Amino acid sequence: MAEEVRFFLRGLVYLVPITVVYWLVSKEPAGTALLVALVVGFVAVIGLVLLHASSAAAELRPRSGGIAGRLLGAVNRAIGFHERVDAPPPLEGGPDLIPTGSPWPLITAASIVVAGLGLIFGTWLLLPGLALLAWALLGWLTQLDRA
């Protein structure tokens, strides 16, 4: 499971320094803000994955050894290219039951489009769109338990 986390950590190895460099050479706020947001996004995804798979956190945690050894080990475990082939199956989940068809995705999409057009054409279209959307979401959610 840790390889999924390493994937994003490796991304950060490039993105964090480049964000700093970009700010230093350009002092340009819009792009810097976007890069910072990107870094935060990566961190958030890492957090999400760790939250779902505590085994990943355990795999990445520093182990014994001298300071330098632990540091190197930690870096290697964080971004190195190795993977336990006997790893337990990835994140628990996925449908073991395949849902049958459902009309709600289509209806929900249609209602969002009506509401979106309502933003252009006016409330006479926006309100029906929102009502339709509420109905569609209700239908979708109540169908879930019959999946």
Q: Does 138 bind other proteins (CB under 8 A)?
A: no
Cα separation, 100 vs 43, in Å, equals: 36
> For other proteins, which is the closer residue by CB, 69 or 138?
138
Please state the length of the chain: 147
Neighbours of 4 (CB within 10 A): 17
Using the rule CB under 8 A, is 31 a contact of other proteins?
Answer: yes
Burial string for 24-35 (b: 16+ CB within 10 Å, else e) reads eeeeeeeebeeb
Q: Which of 64, 68, 81, 145 is in the footprint of other proteins by CB under 8 A?
A: 81
Q: How far apart are CA 7 and CA 14, in angstroms?
A: 12
Interacting residues with other proteins (CB under 8 A): 3-4, 7-8, 10-11, 14-15, 18, 21-22, 25-26, 28, 30-31, 34-35, 38, 41-42, 49, 81, 83-85, 87, 89-95, 97-106, 108-110, 112-113, 116-117, 119-120, 140
